[in-house]
Amino acid sequence: MSQHASGQGKRRWFGRGRTIVRKHYAKIATEGPVMIKRMRVEPISTYLERYLKGGVAHPVTIANGFVYLSGLPPFDPESGEIKPQPFERQCELVLEQLKHCLEAAGSSLEQVIKCNVYCVPGPAHFATFNAVYARYFPKDAPSRIFMFIHSWPGPFDLEVDCVATL
């Protein structure tokens, strides 16, 4: 009878798994906790403080070699205001802000590995966003999810967050 058929293979596999887990926890215990760095990125942090009353002042968090960007709505780069804009312009503003935040953190759009796109329903929004997105990610676009949501508490139709490597 083979080891797998008798269940020996499974016990060995799980045994190896526990060893790996133990080694992983031992590594964490000896190296200490993960360092998390939260960054203010001007002028975006100021805009977030002003408009998002939930205390979100750090659009960028860095941990374990990754950069995590909070969802950013389309702030006007001149005034910091969120005002009604054509959807294509909102897409450009949001992706420019992502680029700015990533560069401030020492990363770039080329290092983005995952984007989450939140958008209010609109018949042409998906196609319009894809056209703008393709300009910012011309090759090897990151994994992405595009979700339609009901509404925002402001005059905008789009928000995007992402994860990138350092």
Tell me if residue 36 falls in helix, strand or coil: strand
Q: In the structure, what pLDDT confidence band is assigned to residue 101 with cuts at 50, 70 and 90?
A: confident
Q: What is the pLDDT of residue 150?
A: 85
Question: pLDDT digit string (tens) for 120-143?
Answer: 988 788 999 999 999 999 988 999
Residues 163 and 113: their CA atoms lie apart, in Å, by: 6
Identify the CATH assignment for 36-165 out of 1.10.443.10, 3.50.50.60, 3.30.1330.40, 3.40.50.300: 3.30.1330.40
- Do 27 and 47 form a contact (C-beta atoms < 8 A)? no
Count of residues making up the chain: 166
Question: pLDDT digit string (tens) for 2-29?
Answer: 444 444 444 333 344 443 444 444 444 4
Domain locations along the chain: 1-33, 36-165
Element (H, E) at 72: strand 66-72
